[in-house]
C-alpha cells in the first residue's frame, strides 16, 4: 500500500493532461489478469439514510464503499495499465445511471474521448455532480425519467471524478478516466482482465475508493478514508496472460 505522499504523487499523475494515444493493430498482444482481495477484518459499514423521495428511494441504501465476494474478492476496484502510448482501439461506452436513487454502476471507468452518458431512470429529479478534486467536471439536472445527457466532451483529462447527487446526499459514485483503453473494473469476485496489450514492461495500478467510515460531511454525505492505490510492475509477453494480484487491508 502506498504512503500518503506516494498516493498524492499518483493522484497528480492521474490528473495530468492526456497524451496522444495511437491506435495500431495488435497482432501478438498479451494480457494481464488477476484478483483484488481483502485481508483482515473488514469495517462495518452502516446503511445510508435516505432523506427524501422515500416513495422512490426507500428508507435506506447499503453502502458500496467496500463490497466483498464470498472469497473476499473486492468489487469495484479499478486496474490501470500505465504509460501505454499505442495499442488497441477504444470501444467502451459508459452509462452512469441514476436508478432507484443509486448510481449504477457505483464505480465506472472510461478513456478520454470514449462515449459516456449520464442517465436518469427515476421519475424524480436527480442532479448529478462530478468533480475532480475541487473543479467541477459536470453538473447536470435530470428532472425526468429516461433523460440522458452526453458527457463525452467533458472527460478530457485523466483522473478520478467523485460523483454525487445534489438532491440526494446518500448517493455517491466514482468515475476513473484513463489515457488509454487499458483499464478494468473488478467484478463480483474481485477479478479483472485487460487484453490486447503490446509486449513490453509496464506499471499496473490498482485504485480503490477507500472504505473506513469517517462520519458525514456538512451536507449529510457519508465520508470514508482516502482512496487506496497500489502499483506493481509487469512484463507482457506475446499472446501470454500475466498474473498480477492485489490486496487491500
| pLDDT (tens digit per residue) in 158-173 | 999 999 999 999 999 9
pLDDT at 6: 39
Q: pLDDT tens digits for 105-129?
A: 999 999 999 999 999 999 999 999 9
Q: Which residues pair with 205 in a beta bridge?
A: 80, 231
CA dihedral (143, 122, 106, 90) in degrees, to 10, reads -70
The three grid cell numbers given for residue 177, joined into one nine-digit string: 478516466
- Structural contact between residues 202 and 209, judged by C-beta atoms closer than 8 angstroms: no
End-to-end CA distance of the chain: 9
pLDDT of residue 20: 87
What is d(CA 20, CA 112) in angstroms, rounded to the nearest whole number? Answer: 10
- Phi-psi category of residue 100: left, alpha or beta, with phi > 0 → left and psi -120 to 50 → alpha: left
pLDDT at 5 over 90: no
pTM of the model: 0.91
Q: Residue 19: its pLDDT value, please?
A: 63
Please say if the pLDDT value at position 52 is more than 90: yes
Amino acid at each position: 500500500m502506498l504512503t500518503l505522499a506516494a498516493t498524492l504523487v499518483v493522484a497528480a499523475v492521474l490528473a495530468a493532461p492526456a497524451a496522444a494515444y495511437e491506435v495500431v493493430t495488435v497482432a501478438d498482444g498479451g494480457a494481464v489478469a488477476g484478483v483484488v482481495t481483502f485481508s483482515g477484518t473488514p469495517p462495518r459499514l452502516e446503511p445510508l439514510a435516505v432523506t427524501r423521495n422515500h416513495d422512490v428511494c426507500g428508507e435506506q441504501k447499503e453502502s458500496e464503499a467496500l463490497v466483498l465476494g464470498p472469497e473476499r474478492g473486492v468489487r469495484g476496484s479499478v486496474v490501470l495499465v500505465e504509460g501505454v502510448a499505442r495499442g488497441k482501439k477504444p470501444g467502451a461506452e459508459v452509462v452512469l445511471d441514476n436508478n432507484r436513487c443509486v448510481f449504477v454502476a457505483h464505480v465506472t471507468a472510461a478513456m478520454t474521448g470514449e462515449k459516456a452518458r449520464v442517465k436518469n431512470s427515476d421519475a424524480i429529479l436527480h442532479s448529478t455532480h462530478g468533480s475532480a478534486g475541487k473543479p467541477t467536471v459536470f453538473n447536470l439536472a435530470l428532472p425526468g425519467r429516461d433523460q440522458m445527457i452526453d458527457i463525452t466532451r467533458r472527460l478530457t483529462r485523466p483522473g478520478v471524478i467523485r460523483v454525487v447527487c445534489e438532491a440526494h446526499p446518500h448517493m455517491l459514485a466514482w468515475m476513473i478516466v484513463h489515457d488509454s483503453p487499458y483499464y478494468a473494473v473488478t467484478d463480483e469476485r474481485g477479478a479483472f482482465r485487460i487484453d490486447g496489450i503490446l509486449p513490453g514492461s509496464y506499471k499496473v495500478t490498482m485504485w480503490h475508493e477507500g472504505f473506513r467510515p469517517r462520519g458525514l460531511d456538512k451536507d449529510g454525505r457519508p465520508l470514508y478514508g482516502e482512496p487506496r492505490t497500489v502499483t506493481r510492475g509487469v512484463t507482457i509477453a506475446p499472446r501470454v496472460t500475466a498474473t498480477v494480484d492485489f490486496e487491500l487491508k
